[in-house]
């Protein structure tokens, strides 16, 4: 059966983003190349036809190119690298990755304005390299996407981020809702309510449609997205095997994958396609927004009490 092999090469990174869930202790853990090669072979024998190399930051690995070549030799039809783009925006690194056989590159832009970006990644002089990586790959045949983080500080800039991406030739963007797990568990101020995010997503959608950009939203249930429910993307519905330095598991079991359905979910038309809410979100904000969207009473209030808005207000 076809599927995606999602390989977390290691947790180390050349950035230290404010919202990152990776702790300092986790940064020391990595998969040896021999173990990665074995999982690549096992994945192909199990029918997986796509592979994604992620981290941490995969491009800081000296063995990334040989591993990409190994995936190509084994016959993976899609070979993706998910990166912050810093090393891919200098020298001939992007060309070397293309030559190794990569077919898809996703660059995490976090947010698009230089000052805000560098404050978030906590490293000066980096924005230009990230931007250059986007521009390089936009001129190739590789499938190029951008990853944008949705947190309290980035929401107001989201619509203009779509204009910025379009100007650099990017035609696909994924919106990742911030998680209060592991390294980011003590920053509840970074987590907006999903209802706060919806108006910004709606405007971003209008910009994306105008520019011909494919937009997807992760972690926000379709009922909260309302008329923009078609943007909801749940990769856990696909066959995805995660290979990490700690374990091999189904994506549906990941800490940052929505996997909690609440009483209001019963009878919802999206029930079979929606993962529900993440446990960290329920603890902080509860199920009020889902209940409002479904027209029922909430069953769980979070530590931060949301105002009891109406369904119309919730959907912007």
- Which two three-digit tokens encode residue 127? 């924005």
Neighbours of 242 (CB within 10 A): 21
3-state secondary structure of 145: strand
Q: Stretch 83-106: mean pLDDT, rounded?
A: 98
**Alpha-carbon 163 to chain mean position:** 19
Q: Is the peptide bond before 5 cis (omega within 30 degrees of 0)?
A: no
- Domain definitions of the chain by residue range: 4-258
Residue 313 to residue 316: CA distance in whole angstroms:
5
The CATH homologous superfamily of the domain defined by 4-258: Aldolase class I (3.20.20.70)
Nearest 10 degrees: Cα torsion 220, 283, 13, 109: 30
Mean pLDDT value across the chain: 95
Strand order across the beta sheet in which 4-8 lies: 232-233, 214-218, 172-177, 143-150, 104-110, 78-83, 50-54, 4-8, 240-243, 248-250
Q: 167-217, pLDDT tens digit by residue? A: 999 999 999 999 999 999 999 999 999 999 999 999 999 999 999 999 999
Residue 259 has φ and ψ, to the nearest 5°, of -150, 15
- C-alpha to C-alpha distance for 105 and 248, rounded to whole angstroms: 23
- Provide the pLDDT for residue 315: 45
pTM value is 0.94
pLDDT at position 74: 98
């Amino acid at each position: 059966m076809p599927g995606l092999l999602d390989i977390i090469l290691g947790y180390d990174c050349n950035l230290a983003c404010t919202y990152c869930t990776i702790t300092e202790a986790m940064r020391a853990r990595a998969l040896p190349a021999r173990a990665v090669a074995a999982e690549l072979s096992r994945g192909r024998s199990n029918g997986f036809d796509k592979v994604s190399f992620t981290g941490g930051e995969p491009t800081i690995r000296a063995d990334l190119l040989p591993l990409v070549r190994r995936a190509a030799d084994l016959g993976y039809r899609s070979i993706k690298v998910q990166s912050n783009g810093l090393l891919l925006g200098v020298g001939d690194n992007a060309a070397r990755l293309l030559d190794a056989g990569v077919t898809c590159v996703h660059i995490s832009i976090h947010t698009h304005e230089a000052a805000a970006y560098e404050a978030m990644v906590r490293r000066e002089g980096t924005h230009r390299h990230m931007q250059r990586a986007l521009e390089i790959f936009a001129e190739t045949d590789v499938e190029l996407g951008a990853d944008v983080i949705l947190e309290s500080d980035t929401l107001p800039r989201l619509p203009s981020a779509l204009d910025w991406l379009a100007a650099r030739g990017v035609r696909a963007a994924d919106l990742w809702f911030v998680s209060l797990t592991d390294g980011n568990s003590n920053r509840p101020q970074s987590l907006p309510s999903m209802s706060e995010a919806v108006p910004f997503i709606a405007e971003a959608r209008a910009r994306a449609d105008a520019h011909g950009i494919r937009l997807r939203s992760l972690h926000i249930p379709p009922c909260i997205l309302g008329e923009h429910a078609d943007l909801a993307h749940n990769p856990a519905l696909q066959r995805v095997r995660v290979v990490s330095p700690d374990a091999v598991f189904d994506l549906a079991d990941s800490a940052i994958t929505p996997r909690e359905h609440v009483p209001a979910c019963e009878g919802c038309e999206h029930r079979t396609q929606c993962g529900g809410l993440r446990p960290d979100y329920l603890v902080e904000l509860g199920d009020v927004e889902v209940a409002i969207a479904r027209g029922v009473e909430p069953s769980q209030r979070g530590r931060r009490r949301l105002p009891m808005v109406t369904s119309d207000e919730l959907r912007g």
